[in-house]
Amino acid sequence: MTARRIWALFKVYDIVMQNHASIEHERLRSYVLTRFFLLYLLAEALSQADEQGRELVRDPASFLEAPRGLERLRVAIGRLLSDLLVDLNAEVKEREESGNAFDYKRELKSPSAVRSLALNLLSSYAKLVKRGRTSSFGRDWEETGSE
């Protein structure tokens, strides 16, 4: 772990915190473990997304050091998180409507429940990317660099 990596990961954390307000369920949004779940979800999505996503997980500082890096990361990560949060909001709402409320306090403390929820959300995101209904991190990163 280097100071450069810590600085970069803090910037990524800041981007996540700016986007986490999109969580509609107020208690889930304010629950402290939710932000760490979002970081985990983001890391998994980036690791599965494309080569640039995997590179961001390996060396986030190199992205911040790119021209307009922080601005580009805000856009690309923001879009990715937006897609994931739409599905998270839908999952929570669906569970509440079915009478099986999302017990966020219990589930976000359970490694197996976290993996299961993340897998559901990530599979939905992967389908959207493959069908061309949303762009991947790498594509968003490249597009924001050419503006």
| pLDDT higher than threshold 80 for residue 147 | no
Yes or no: say if 16 and 39 are a contact pair by the CB < 8 Å rule: yes
CA-based Rg of the chain, rounded to a whole angstrom? 15
Q: How far is CA 47 from CA 6, 50, 136, in A?
A: 19, 7, 12
Q: What are the tens digits of pLDDT across the range 50-87?
A: 888 899 999 999 999 999 999 999 999 999 999 999 99
Read off the pTM.
0.89
Structural domain boundaries in the chain? 3-145
pLDDT of residue 99: 87
pLDDT of residue 138: 86
pLDDT of residue 45: 93
Copy the structure tokens of residue 125.
């995101």
Identity of residue 95 = R
Residues 6+ away with beta carbon under 8 Å from 78: 15, 18, 19
Residues 6+ away with beta carbon under 8 Å from 20: 29, 34, 35, 38, 81, 85
